Chain A
């Protein structure tokens, strides 16, 4: 396994204004995630783990401190540069799947390719390969509402993988699934990690966090433990 650092936060702070009140969501977080790691970020509701996930996922920028992606500072990029990096380097998996209901599963998987520089002629082939990887290639023409929850999440994972990103960032990926299906999804993440993908799972569920190789526990906007 490579020991190169994929993503690193250096003393990051994030403060919000809620009316007149100032909320310190993160106060000085330093974490390092190496390439090929399988990590969970764990914390209770309000701990700041979601804020940290948004920053790692390049959906937001820190109030102060630095975020390095592949040793490059990405904490002061503009909207367009962030969008480009999200498309290329991050694959999101959400708790509620977030599939577009009106298009087929293969079109859902193609969606990130539309915002990339990949030529159109390769879209269908790439998407189909990802559907095969998650075991749903025969459902490529189905609409999302014709699939079970577990299948929907597999489609979402295929979508996250299609641009071959550096990082799979999953936010409570089993939160809407029963325990058996949830376990299957976790198994899929483990398989992806074995094949070399860096996977970060953000969760409040300690049990789920135990399946990863490392836990980063967030409490009151700080890293309380890294195991």
Chain B
């Protein structure tokens, strides 16, 4: 009996029990759509992180306190912070020819107030070079100057989201805002830059240190001159810092290092999410096997009849196997559509993406599940003795 004929006959058989067929497929539909959706969300998170780094600009090196090594206990990296302002001078003095710009960075999460309005902003303390280093574009007003940094001026630049929230209908320039306990004058607003930058309030790092009574700086960010090799620059900065610090006191990482490490972690996370969703697909497969076993028992007489009329054991097995594959493949296809639509709907929140391989994996896994869980019922059907089967009531 030809495959096409068997398929037609299987569709008729499945159509005779529509509710049961749909319920059986539901397991596979949910499994496949979960695989597609979770992988696309994982991809969305990866995209988000990549966007963040792109917004930072290129050729950046980050000097962080402690020995940062992904994969080791991250607690060590925060155990002691010996980074101070003097280390900037150390780099500027000894490796001046590779540095395009350099800034210390102080990060504090703080509530920013204007009259009755609040905003939980990320306060970033940098120096005047940070404007170029992070590629800020000023929308209104000005950036702070070297003099502001030296004199610990209480001046602030607002990110786009902060401005919108605190000053929806007015220019913030010249207005006084409260950061923590201190008053700052708004001297500028930044153009939309995307990601976390829009939620920042940028102040001179010296002002942040005094406002928040900090001893150390959070990190040093160096923009390396375009014609310099990043690996050599890393080595040179390390050597300069070793004049004052121990090897375990700091880590120099390039943007690419950080990005690739984070991407690796997220890749694992995405695969992990997909695998968890895959378990539900497996459960769907067990549902198919369950129903196919019921179907084989119900249709015992039909099996006996078909055998009496000349069906070989293979013909019978093929028919039941194709029925379970139709269940899983149809369920898989519907699941892909639903997963894709859900992922599309998720774009309102995060830049989700359905990679072709996730569709391929989900679809082949669904088919595979149909074959694996369909084989046992099919073999059981094919082994039925025609005489016994014809007598079955």
Q: Do A and B bind each other?
A: yes
**Residues of A that sit less than 8 Å from B by CB:** 54, 57, 59-60, 79-80, 83-84, 86-88, 92, 94, 98, 100, 102-103, 111-112, 114-116, 120, 159, 163
The one of A80, A100, A102, A114 that contacts B1, using a Cβ cutoff of 8 Å: A114
Q: Tell me the bound Cα distance from A41 to B307 in angstroms.
A: 23
Asked whether B305 is an interface residue with its Cβ less than 8 Å from the other chain, the reply is yes
Give per-residue flags for B270-288: 1 if the beta carbon is below 8 A from chain A beta carbons, else 0.
0000000000000000000
- CB contacts (< 8 Å) of B311 on chain A: these are 83, 115
Asked whether B13 is an interface residue with its Cβ less than 8 Å from the other chain, the reply is yes
Known: A59-B308, A87-B309. 16 other contacts (CB 8 A): A54-B387, A59-B387, A83-B310, A83-B315, A84-B312, A86-B307, A86-B308, A98-B304, A98-B305, A98-B390, A102-B13, A111-B306, A114-B9, A115-B312, A120-B2, A159-B309
Q: A59-B386, A60-B387, A98-B390 are in contact. Are A79 and B301 (CB under 8 A)?
A: no
Chain B: interface residue total (CB-CB under 8 A): 25
The one of B2, B16, B301, B315 that contacts A98, using a Cβ cutoff of 8 Å: B301
Q: Tell me the bound Cα distance from A107 to B49 in angstroms.
A: 61
Q: Tell me the bound Cα distance from A60 to B1 in angstroms.
A: 22
Closest to B17 in A: A102
**Residues of B that sit less than 8 Å from A by CB:** 1-2, 5, 9, 12-13, 15-16, 301-302, 304-315, 386-387, 390
Closest to A160 in B: B309
Q: Are A87 and B16 in contact (CB under 8 A)?
A: no
Closest 5 CB pairs of A and B: A87-B310, A115-B310, A83-B312, A102-B16, A112-B309
Closest to B302 in A: A100
Q: Tell me the bound Cα distance from A83 to B2 in angstroms.
A: 16
Q: A98-B301, A100-B302 are in contact. Are A79 and B387 (CB under 8 A)?
A: no
Q: Tell me the bound Cα distance from A86 to B313 in angstroms.
A: 13
Q: Are B16 and A111 in contact (CB under 8 A)?
A: no
- CB contacts (< 8 Å) of A59 on chain B: these are 307-308, 386-387
Q: Tell me the bound Cα distance from A92 to B12 in angstroms.
A: 24
- CB contacts (< 8 Å) of A116 on chain B: these are 310
- CB contacts (< 8 Å) of B386 on chain A: these are 59
The one of A80, A102, A159 that contacts B312, using a Cβ cutoff of 8 Å: A80
23 contacting pairs across A/B (C-beta < 8 A): A54-B387, A57-B308, A59-B308, A59-B386, A80-B313, A83-B313, A84-B310, A86-B308, A88-B310, A100-B305, A102-B12, A102-B15, A103-B12, A111-B306, A114-B1, A114-B5, A115-B1, A115-B309, A115-B312, A115-B315, A116-B310, A120-B5, A159-B309
Q: Are B302 and A86 in contact (CB under 8 A)?
A: no
B122 to chain A, nearest CB (A): 66
Q: Tell me the bound Cα distance from A179 to B310 in angstroms.
A: 31
Closest to A60 in B: B387
B306 to chain A, nearest CB (A): 7
B41 to chain A, nearest CB (A): 43
B384 to chain A, nearest CB (A): 11
Q: Tell me the bound Cα distance from A103 to B11 in angstroms.
A: 12
- CB contacts (< 8 Å) of A94 on chain B: these are 305, 390
Q: Tell me the bound Cα distance from A83 to B313 in angstroms.
A: 9
